[in-house]
Structure 1
Amino acid sequence: MRDWTSITNAIALALSGERQRGREALLACWEATAQGDHAQRCVLAHYLADQRSALDEEVAWDEVAMSEHAYVVDEDLVPIGVTSAAALAPSLHLNLGDGYLRQGRLDDARAQLDAGMQAQSTLSIDGYGAHIRSGLERLRQRVEEVQLP
């Protein structure tokens, strides 16, 4: 899959509240990708994670998104208006860290939080950047609140 149109349409559907139809559309796009379509697979996995009701499935998709991100370069995301592959990392770390924390994997959650905090300088100074920074701060607070046994 090289064209982003069906992916952006599937994302819009998922974000519109049409959870089941959005998930089906995202999965159809996923199945149309090739193993080398790292940017598309990263973005799809990122959104597929949010469409899962089972925590383990959510985290598994977040892990896929993070794995695919390792192969994404800036020009791969230009078609969807993202000018820096690095700027996607804080959101990926936030989601994965949140999932790990909810699974009780505190060390893994801290590692993702640390990576997200280190990468937040790549975020733009706009609503999206503020949203991710705020999410990282909330995750930091939640991690600090966890009492070790």
Structure 2
Amino acid sequence: MAERQEQAVSDAVMTRIGQGVLLHHAGDREEARGRFLDLWAEIGEDGDPLHRCTLAHYMADTQDDPADELAWDLRALSAAEELTHDRPARRDGAPAARALYPSLHLNLAADYVKLGRSDAARTHLYRARSAADALGDDSYGDGVRAAIDRLEARLADGGPAGGPWGPPRRRP
């Protein structure tokens, strides 16, 4: 019975995150940010890492200031790392976190580009590319890989020739 209640709470949190994402995609960035902040206050810094990772990941997208966006993306990565480290009580979210790593690192790379920190951007872009094997062969995975390619090309055009990973890779 307690497990069922815990699952219902988890589903409710994910539903509320999804509602905020829908608001943001509909163009109501302020409302989405407000709802995300309210939910963050409820979850707290010690809440479920999968919830914190997901919420912070989407909260970053609602930020106007690149430094604030970076701070939220770093929170998302930190929560994902909690899920993938050897913590038996939290292992159920580890596969979901691994699938998020390419996107998390891609977002961090983009944040660092906005802040003019190309070396940090390249580091996270390399990590995004390295983690991309966890992505499925579906539209989400294809979209993340394409975004990695685009940012690699952008950094190659504006910085040292190609970075440590060479030119953008294309999927066969």
Common fold by TM > 0.5: yes
Distance 1:118 1:20 in 2: 34
Q: CA RMSD in A?
A: 1.8
Q: Kindly report which structure 2 residues correspond to 1:45-124, keeping only aligned pairs within 5 A, or say none.
A: 45-73=56-84, 75-76=92-93, 84-124=96-136
- Structure 1: tracts of 5 or more residues without a match: 78-82
Deviations 1:64-116 (A, max 9, x none): 11111101256238xxxxx5321110000110001101211111111101100
Matches of 1:14 and 1:72 in 2, distance apart?
26
Matched residue of 2:96: which SS? coil
Give the match for residue 144 of structure 2: 132
- What is the deviation of 1:118? 0.5
- My pick for the range that moved more, 12-21 or 68-77, is 68-77
Q: Report the Cα distance in structure 2 between the residues aligned to 1:87 and 1:36, rounded to whole angstroms.
A: 20
CA gap 1:96/1:114 in 2 versus in 1, 3 angstroms: same
2:100 and 2:50 map into 1 onto residues whose CA distance is: 11
**Aligned pair partner of 2:48 in 37, 52, 55:** 37
Offset at residue 53 of structure 1 (A): 0.9
Report the structure number with the largest CA radius of gyration: 2
Structure 2 stretches lacking a partner, 5+ long: 1-8, 85-90, 161-172
**Structure 1 residue 37: Cα displacement:** 1.5
Secondary structure of the 1:72 match is helix
SS of 2:83 mapped into structure 1: coil
Please tell me whether residue 25 in structure 1 is matched to residue 35 in structure 2: yes
Corresponding pairs, count: 143
| Structure 1 CA distance for aligned equivalents of residues 63 and 154 of structure 2 | 22
Give the Cα separation in 1 of the matches to 2:40 and 2:17.
Answer: 9
Q: Letter of the aligned partner of 2:35 in structure 1?
A: A
**TM-score, normalization by structure 2:** 0.76
Identity value in percent = 35
Tell me, in whole angstroms, the C-alpha distance in 2 between the residues paired with 1:72 and 1:36.
12
